[in-house]
Amino acid sequence: MSLKHWFLALWVRNNFGKGDKKRDAGQTTPDDIERYDDILYGGKKIKKWQLLDVYRPKNATNGDAALCKLPVIVIVHGGAWVYGDKSVYQFYGMRLAQRGFAVVNYSYRLAPEAKFPASLQDTETVFQWICDNADKYGLDAQNVFAVGDSAGAHLLSLYAAALSNDSYRKNFPFIQKKNLCLRGLALNCGIYDIVTAVNDGGHTDLFIGALLARGGKSDELKLINGVDYVTKDFPPAFVMSCKGDFLLPQASFIKKALDDAGVLHEYKIYGTDAAPLWHVFHCDPKLPEAVACNDDECEFFRRMVSR
């Protein structure tokens, strides 16, 4: 791990952390939510990161008081691949649960300490955990959805591609077929065409250098260039960004890939030129546009539920 990447991560963790704490100040667990915290989903050697929470609407039970199985939303948090954990998405996650879902909110290993595909391995382990614990926590493994923000949208797009594209999945032998159906995704303010982003003169190359073991060689960039692996079997997707998001151009790249493959999707840009929003605005429950966006995505998921 280079000093450059270490200091980059420290800077991001400090500055992003301040913003998230300000956004979440004063928020508490809603009275209508039951939460199960700090569940170990992986190995003991990386216990610090392989933890998840489950949030459910209270009283969502069968007549015998057993938890009824609810459609699931998995949260893949953002943070430029180097920042974040489940704590900064807990209040957003509980707002989604209030809309009638069981929400799985997990932490995954971060760069530069853990190189790709560590985060993808953790994501696979979470989805396997859902299969193994569906009865205990009332999770409908045949109606699983996922939301990914920013770098989390990138990670989610790669995972969905690996599940739906046999050729791509061969690069990740740890991803196994399982008794679970990923019915749909929400890709929020994400980054999908890594090759374009690295070559556009911004700072993406610094973060990618922290993420990848060899610093972003051409074959490494190709492997994580999510738009290249979308096929007709990719899950239905709700793609959103907003006016004011520095990653707004990236939304059109994944939309084109979905269009070309014939994948069912919705594409929505929130805010206006006169009243722009900001990157991952939808995580702020006090914002009317965030409420509207989260309503739109959950309604999209409801339409994808298999009865």
pLDDT tens per residue, range 52-89: 999 999 988 776 667 899 999 999 999 999 999 999 99
Non-local (6+) Cβ contacts of 80 within 8 A are 12, 16, 150, 151, 207
- Cα angle, residue 265 at apex, residues 259 and 271 outer, rounded to 5°: 105
- Binned at pLDDT 50, 70 and 90, residue 292 comes out as very high
- Binned at pLDDT 50, 70 and 90, residue 43 comes out as confident
Whether residue 108 contacts residue 123, with contact meaning beta carbons closer than 8 Å, is answered with yes
The pLDDT, as a whole number, for residue 75 is 99
Q: Which residue has the tokens 């206006």?
A: 272
**Integer Cα distance of 174 and 127 in angstroms:** 12
DSSP for 78-110, written as a single string: -STTTS--GGGGHHHHHHHHTTT-EEEEE----
Q: Which residue has the tokens 């932490």?
A: 107
Whether residue 147 contacts residue 188, with contact meaning beta carbons closer than 8 Å, is answered with yes
Where do the H-state alpha helices sit in the chain? 3-24, 90-97, 118-132, 134-137, 151-164, 166-169, 194-198, 204-211, 218-223, 248-261, 288-304
pLDDT tens-place string over residues 132-154? 999 999 999 999 999 999 999 99
Non-local (6+) Cβ contacts of 59 within 8 A are none
The pLDDT, as a whole number, for residue 214 is 95
Report the predicted TM-score, pTM, of the whole model to 2 decimal places. 0.97
> What Cα–Cα distance (Å) separates residue 79 from each residue in 27, 72, 86, 170?
21, 23, 11, 27
pLDDT tens-place string over residues 241-274? 999 999 999 999 999 999 999 999 999 999 999 9
Whether residue 103 contacts residue 96, with contact meaning beta carbons closer than 8 Å, is answered with yes
